[in-house]
């Protein structure tokens, strides 16, 4: 049985709109905004799902339903055998949540005191608590500042403490909503490595929303793209590359054209731009492999510097957002 199972999930909101009525009197009416439109997916135990989409696509609404904060308009949700909004007390003892823009820590007290409060909330015995805290503080490298009031911590320090608090009770499912937002490169990498260890060591199921595609590339075992409340892609990162990454670019420096006719044929078959001795050539990987193009290039020229590029995951996902068939009518 999947750790998370969602079928036909819908969430509508009533949004007020003001309109001028008779003799200029303002009348307030409401219109329905659909945040989630029949969304269905599942996440297996121990899987890391990268749940991504542009702002307003429905990601945070999904997280709030899965954590029991919101009740859906319709649909079926099962997480670890629980209906989140119906069995919140027991359910929350089995999940961990980190919202990048909403803190689990109290602003005026030190994280170590916050951890002890969570020990009482989750009804943890002293010895298991001490062992768990020791492991997590080493994993996230927070020992040196966990005694400092939260308000005095850097964003990176605070987010690492947030994850310690979320994982203290050893949850089976971890919801991460923009956990690396605003962090520097070093802090992001440290956090990714720690999340990966927890996932691999404890088989923790993770649902991760993020705008940082490095998070997705390094952590996600499966990816789901949401746009305007509907799923527009579900699969692996590798599958996304195979399905959408087709136009590749070769940048090269020509030292000498050894076969002018072969070079002319190559230029005629591909889009080539030139700047001095440097060239940029595009080719479609669905029609020809990079090796075939390179073989023809080496037959026609003596090459100096050479680089082969494919579009970044961020570029591909942006193009998916912008495709007409990814938008609802």
In a domain, 125, yes or no: yes
* pLDDT over 80 at 104, yes or no: yes
User: Where residue 286 sits, what CATH number does that domain have?
Assistant: 3.30.70.1150
Task: Give CA–CA dist 323/308, Å, rounded.
Answer: 26
224 and 250 co-located in one domain = no
For residue 287, the enclosing domain spans 246-310
* Mean pLDDT within 230-250: 82
User: Where residue 48 sits, what CATH number does that domain have?
Assistant: 3.40.50.300
pLDDT (0 to 100) of residue 76: 96
Task: Give CA–CA dist 195/197, Å, rounded.
Answer: 5
Q: Which residue has the higher pLDDT, 22 or 245?
A: 245
* pLDDT over 90 at 8, yes or no: yes
267 and 203 co-located in one domain = no
In a domain, 199, yes or no: yes
Q: Which residue has the higher pLDDT, 5 or 26?
A: 5
58 and 83 co-located in one domain = yes
State the total domains in the chain: 2
The residue among 5, 209, 9, 171 whose CA lies nearest residue 91 is 171
Q: In this prediction, what percent of the chain has a pLDDT beyond 70?
A: 93
Query: DSSP secondary structure string, 247-293?
Result: EEEEEEEEEEES-HHHHHHHHHHSEEEEETTEEEEEEETTTS-HHHH
Give residue-wise pLDDT tens across range 171-211. 999 999 888 877 888 888 988 999 999 999 999 999 999 88
30 and 112 co-located in one domain = yes
Distances (CA, A) of 27 to 17, 20, 86, 108, 296: 9, 6, 37, 45, 70
* pLDDT over 50 at 328, yes or no: no
- For residue 329, what pLDDT band results from cuts at 50, 70 and 90? very low
pLDDT (0 to 100) of residue 276: 83
202 and 272 co-located in one domain = no
32 and 128 co-located in one domain = yes
**All residues at 6 or more sequence positions from 114 whose CB lies less than 8 Å from its CB, including other chains:** 104, 105, 106, 150, 161, 165
pLDDT (0 to 100) of residue 225: 92
Give residue-wise pLDDT tens across range 41-88. 999 999 999 999 888 889 989 999 999 999 999 999 999 999 999 988
Task: Give CA–CA dist 175/162, Å, rounded.
Answer: 12
């Amino acid at each position: 049985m999947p750790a998370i199972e969602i079928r036909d999930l819908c969430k509508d909101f009533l949004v007020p709109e003001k309109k001028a009525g008779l003799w200029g009197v303002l009348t307030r009416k409401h219109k329905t905004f659909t945040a989630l439109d029949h969304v269905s997916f599942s996440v297996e135990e121990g899987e890391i799902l990268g749940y991504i989409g542009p702002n307003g696509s429905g990601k945070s609404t999904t997280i709030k339903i899965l954590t029991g904060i919101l009740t859906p308009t319709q649909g079926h949700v099962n997480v670890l055998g629980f209906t989140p909004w119906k069995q919140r007390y027991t359910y929350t003892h089995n999940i961990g949540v980190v919202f990048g823009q909403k803190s689990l820590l109290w602003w005026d007290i030190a994280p170590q005191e916050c951890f002890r409060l969570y020990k009482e909330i989750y009804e943890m015995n002293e010895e298991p608590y001490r062992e768990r805290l020791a492991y997590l503080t080493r994993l996230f490298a927070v020992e040196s500042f966990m005694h400092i009031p939260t308000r005095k911590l850097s964003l990176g320090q605070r987010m690492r403490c947030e994850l310690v608090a979320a994982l203290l009770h050893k949850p089976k499912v971890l919801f991460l909503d923009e956990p690396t937002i605003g962090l520097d490169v070093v802090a992001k990498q440290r956090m990714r490595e720690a999340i990966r260890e927890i996932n691999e060591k404890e088989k923790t199921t993770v649902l991760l929303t993020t705008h940082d595609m490095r998070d997705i590339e390094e952590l996600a075992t499966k990816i789901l793209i949401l746009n305007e409340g509907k799923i527009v892609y579900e699969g692996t990162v590798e599958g996304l590359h195979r399905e959408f990454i087709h136009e590749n670019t070769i940048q090269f420096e020509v030292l000498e054209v050894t076969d002018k006719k072969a070079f002319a044929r190559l230029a005629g078959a591909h889009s080539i731009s030139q700047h001095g001795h440097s060239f940029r050539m595009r080719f479609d990987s669905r029609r020809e492999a990079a090796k075939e193009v390179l073989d023809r290039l080496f037959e026609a020229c003596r090459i100096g510097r050479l680089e082969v590029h494919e579009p970044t995951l961020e570029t591909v996902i942006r193009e998916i957002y912008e495709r007409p068939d990814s938008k609802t009518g």
